[in-house]
Amino acid sequence: MTQPYSQACENNKRPILEILATAFARCQVVLEIGSGTGQHAVFFAGQLPFLQWHTSDQPHYHAGINSWIDLYPGENLHRPVSLTIGAEPLPALHADGIFTANTAHIMQKAEVQLMMEQVASMLPDGGVFCQYGPFTQNGRFNSDSNEAFHYKLVTQGYGGYRDIEELQHWASPLHLKTVHPMPANNLLLEWHKQ
């Protein structure tokens, strides 16, 4: 098969790693929701050897994720499990950390709400959820290009950008500790369960 590749993953993996290294410092088991190409998983697992990194996604992504794991295997990097939000529950892992990148603006609103609720329910007290991507704040886009991309997504049938206040409502009892500004007008939302 052709190796799946995302230039965006290559561009953002190091800035994301800088935050994950601190946010997940006390975690042991991380579930990645929507592993996509698998590039993030192999990079983060290799750089954060104290974590057991579990990949997941819809089944049609598994071959691509596995091809990256074949290239960069690690004892702390786990093969993908099937996960389609709205059709399957989150995997039955004792995860104290959850990571997702560039999923909320692709999913439908009801699916994002369900994901936030499931993450909040699954994490133990002290658990951490790191959520990367483009979002609106107080109903506002942080760039003209983000606004244009949102409307393009919506016309293509995707859910479009979600507002941080909306996510906070769905994520209770998760507490949004930090909104980290990231390159390319993205954000990383660092949630903690208290």
Average pLDDT for residues 79-107, to the nearest whole number? 97
Residue 2 pLDDT: 79
* 53 has a pLDDT exceeding 90: yes
Secondary structure, 3-state, the chain: CCCCCCHHHHHHHHHHHHHHHHHCCCCCEEEEECCCCCHHHHHHHHHCCCCEEEEEECHHHHHHHHHHHHHCCCCCEEEEEECCECCECCCCCCCCEEEEECCCCCCCHHHHHHHHHHHHHHCCCCCEEEEEECCEECCECCCHHHHHHHHHHHHCCCCCCCEHHHHHHHHCCEEEEEEEEEHHHEEEEEEEEC
* 10 has a pLDDT exceeding 80: yes
% pLDDT > 70, the chain: 99
Structure confidence at residue 194 as a pLDDT band (50, 70, 90): confident
- Over residues 149-184, the pLDDT tens digits come to 999 999 999 999 999 999 999 999 999 999 999 999
CATH superfamily of 7-193: Vaccinia Virus protein VP39 (3.40.50.150)
